[in-house]
Amino acid sequence: MNIALLGHGNMGLEIERLVRASGTHTVSVIGMEEPSGAIDTAGLKNAEVVIDFTSPEIVMNDIRTVAKEGKNLVVGTTGWQEHLPEVEKIVRESGIGLIYGQNFSIGANIFFRAVAHATKLFSAFKDYDVYGLEIHHAGKKDSPSGTALRTAQEILQNSSTKKILTTGKLDRKVRPEELHFASVRGGVNPGFHEVVFDSPADAVTISHSAHNREGFAQGAILAAEFIQGKKGLFTFDDVMKAHGIK
Ligand SMILES: NC(=O)c1ccc[n+]([C@@H]2O[C@H](COP(=O)([O-])OP(=O)(O)OC[C@H]3O[C@@H](n4cnc5c(N)ncnc54)[C@H](OP(=O)(O)O)[C@@H]3O)[C@@H](O)[C@H]2O)c1
């Protein structure tokens, strides 16, 4: 498969390294103008699947341009969820296949399921409260992380008490129905997410810690293989389902 990369930063470089090392696919990097993000569409012509790891400011323009060229797309960029209805429309009208995910690493996707299951179990006991924390490198442009939002969604969907997500600083007591999920930015951490179920007697912590960007990049390549030749909108959950995990 010919893979074309939009974005040649931390993630683009890691995907390029893995694809070249495996020799299973070919990979090229698409030129983009700074800061407009205007794409060199000539570079898209031979691509079978485009993988986007850019930034929230330009990702919608990327999706429109790639769809106009009729190419299937993996969107790893986060921080654009409010545009999902528009993306659904673009995918429907252009007839392309598009897959997106807040976190493409297998470990994080198992972490989401572990958090959902633990939330259900702890919900049966009123003594346990729950909160979350995420840490990312100083260069990350969106906050809270897409992974934190997805983790919070798993808690809100499965908790008997938590109904609202609060991500900012609190100058007051947290309300029982609020899930507080805090973000810290600094250093070089590629991604740490932690959920704590806390009670007067004990605490249970579930965390996902990325050692580097390899897991995200491997997942992006799996997503590219999945979306090749398909039409419609998919998420990384569809890749997990294809591997027998609900
Ligand atoms: N889904 C997942 O599993 C996952 C995992 C990790 C990261 N992410 C997300 O992926 C995205 C990229 O992460 P990253 O760490 O690779 O970021 P990065 O190192 O900053 O790389 C971003 C790339 O996009 C280019 N770019 C961004 N804005 C641009 C603009 N306005 N004009 C032209 N080029 C532009 C950058 O070019 P320059 O370097 O020239 O600016 C760079 O090549 C982020 O949204 C991050 O949250 C998702």
- Report domain extents, the chain: 2-104+213-242, 106-209
> CB of 54 within 8 A of CB of 37?
yes
Identify the pLDDT of residue 246: 86
The preferred substitution site among 8, 11, 61 for testing ligand 1, maximizing ligand atoms within 8 Å of CB, is: 11
Determine if ligand 1 sits within 6 Å of the CB of residue 80: no
Put the strands of the sheet holding 178-185 in their side by side order.
Answer: 164-166, 178-185, 129-136, 192-198, 203-209
β-strand 232-235 against 97-100: which pairing, if any?
parallel
Contact 78 CB / ligand 1 (< 6 Å): yes
- In the predicted model, residues of the chain with pLDDT beneath 50 are none
- The dotted CATH code for 2-104+213-242 is 3.40.50.720
Q: Of 149, 161, 150, whose CA–CA distance to 119 is shortest? A: 161
Q: Which residues contact 63 (CB under 8 A, 6 or more apart)?
A: 52, 73, 75, 87, 90, 98
According to the model, what pLDDT value does residue 108 have? 97
Quick check: CB of 7 below 6 Å from ligand 1?
yes
**What does the alpha-carbon distance between residue 3 and residue 246 come to, in Å, rounded to a whole number?**
28
Alpha-carbon distance of 143 to 80, in angstroms, equals: 11
**What is the gyration radius of the CA atoms in the chain, in angstroms?**
19
Q: What is the pLDDT of residue 37?
A: 87
pLDDT for the residue 73: 98
With 0.95 as the threshold, say if the pTM is over it: no
How far does residue 126's CA lie from ligand 1's centre (Å)?
42
CATH architecture of 106-209: 2-Layer Sandwich (3.30)
**DSSP 8-state symbol, 175:** P
pLDDT computed for residue 69 by the predictor: 96
The yes-or-no answer to whether 2-104+213-242 and 106-209 have a common fold is no
